Chain A
């Protein structure tokens, strides 16, 4: 597997030289593999949003480097290559507030149009993106403002997908949605990943959404990388994660509690299905872990 995004010794300081100076990223180094789904978690102020804004050049490192497919995204003159914005698509938190066009199709077409694509190509991409996010083609000529909040969010995500980014970064894509809406959006994101082979980063406060679908998880804490590993390995250290001010799923807490009481279960479960399997294993085999 090859590396798509690499961060080397990245430091970012907000308000340098003012009383509000704060180091948001402190000598961070990491590599993201081509085609993986990476869950990025950390509490507010841990540096996760600052980190992802470096991935497509919205923020410039104070020191260190960001490489996309092996090349630094900033040139010697301090300019960010324009195509980085198309290759790394960033969906912000509550993106439904960023819609602005008269029709859904026009709103989704905004990115592809900026890429300088032909009208035919733009139309194809809009249709494809709408399908990815489950928006009925008949809605194309409607105003995005006539939609419900959940549907508006889909339009916003489609607007980024329409650029066919190699790396799709979503900041809290399920915030404020009900359980059904949450599962639907995550399923569509997975669909985009499976069909295009794109690398997907999902930023979240909570581990629940991300742990299910992520190949690896990046845990940010106090401006640094605390953990970057497979979900099982990350959850094996649930105690440290709780101490870092993050929430682990309730089911993980139950298994941590059982483990603490001396029951021979693994404390690193993070879904109900895993928990059930673990209980059956312990009950059936009587194996000690």
Chain B
């Protein structure tokens, strides 16, 4: 698998308001392959959002290098192409909607990119259909629910046809229904369109849907691997102030009492299987 994002010894430091240096990223080495679905976990201040900002040149490294589709993000001539390649969706839907009509909002970036009108029409319609918001195309965005607004923001990104989408806690401000809607769309981006997805999240139930989980801690990659592999490392996750899915936590808890159960339960069904067997045994 060829890679779409690669970081080499990525460092990012800034000064706080009193002039003290703060190291947000401290030598991150990562490679993200084309078509991957990667979730990035970490507590507040772990560096995960700072990392995400480097993937579309919102932030530039103060040390080391980030390549997006083989383009060095530090080179000013690459910035435009980097942002077209790797688009970003933010946490607060209200901060990223600019137009007064849904379809105009989705068309905004395309107009800026100088896409011909007929092509804009087609791409906007396709993008709105992909996120299930086509029937709302003439609505006012401010009357939509949080989940709907976030799907419009994602449609705006899809319309640009990026190869990679980075989502920075896209569901943090949504209710359970909105979260489900958005996660369905995010999975669709990856599965149906083959777009590389980098999902920054606090939610373990979202991270388990990814192909690979990267855990950030103190500006470094603490661990990475398949969700099943990562979430069974309960002690290390807790040490990094992270939760584990409850389906694993209960098994871990029972094991502390010597139950000797397998920890690899990422779904309700898997967990029930293990517990049912345990109770029957």
Are A176 and B172 within 8 A (Cβ)? yes
Question: Which of A81-89, A230-238, A255-263 interfaces with chain B?
Answer: A255-263
Per-residue B-contact encoding for A268-287, CB less than 8 Å = 1, 0 else: 00001101100110110000
Q: How far is the CB of A74 from chain B (nearest CB, A)?
A: 30
| Partner of A276 from B43, B243, B254, B271 at Cβ < 8 Å | B254
A175-B173, A254-B250 known; A280-B257 Cβ under 8 A: yes
Which chain B residues border A261 with CB–CB below 8 Å?
272, 276
Are A257 and B272 within 8 A (Cβ)? yes
Per-residue B-contact encoding for A140-170, CB less than 8 Å = 1, 0 else: 0000001011100000000000000000000
Size range of the interface on A?
Answer: 35 or more
Are A276 and B275 within 8 A (Cβ)? no
Are A247 and B176 within 8 A (Cβ)? yes
Which chain A residues border B253 with CB–CB below 8 Å?
272-273, 275-276
Are A179 and B202 within 8 A (Cβ)? yes
A27 within 8 A of B: no
Q: Which chain B residues (225-269) contact chain A, with CB distance < 8 Å?
A: 241-243, 245-247, 249-250, 253-254, 257, 268-269
Which chain B residues border A176 with CB–CB below 8 Å?
91, 169, 172-173
Total interface residues on B, using CB and 8 Å?
A: 35
B175 within 8 A of A: yes
Are A283 and B279 within 8 A (Cβ)? yes
B42 and chain A: residue at smallest CB distance:
A178
User: How many Å lie between the Cα of A258 and that of B277 in the bound state?
Assistant: 11
Are A177 and B44 within 8 A (Cβ)? yes
Are B172 and A205 within 8 A (Cβ)? no
Per-residue B-contact encoding for A177-190, CB less than 8 Å = 1, 0 else: 11111000000000
Which chain B residues border A246 with CB–CB below 8 Å?
176
Q: Which chain B residues (3-33) contact chain A, with CB distance < 8 Å?
A: 17
Supplied contacts A180-B44, A251-B247, 13 more A-B pairs, CB within 8 Å: A43-B177, A148-B44, A148-B45, A175-B172, A181-B44, A249-B246, A250-B205, A254-B272, A261-B272, A263-B275, A265-B279, A272-B249, A279-B279
- Give 7 closest A-B pairs by Cβ, nearest first: A247-B176, A250-B246, A257-B272, A251-B246, A180-B241, A176-B172, A179-B243
Query: B-contacting residues of A (Cβ < 8 Å)?
Result: 43-44, 94, 146, 148-150, 175-181, 205-206, 245-247, 249-251, 253-254, 257-258, 261, 263, 265, 272-273, 275-276, 279-280, 282-283
22 residue pairs bridging A and B, Cβ less than 8 Å apart = A43-B175, A44-B175, A94-B173, A176-B172, A178-B43, A179-B241, A205-B176, A246-B176, A250-B246, A250-B247, A254-B247, A254-B250, A254-B268, A254-B275, A257-B272, A258-B272, A263-B275, A263-B276, A265-B279, A272-B246, A272-B253, A273-B253
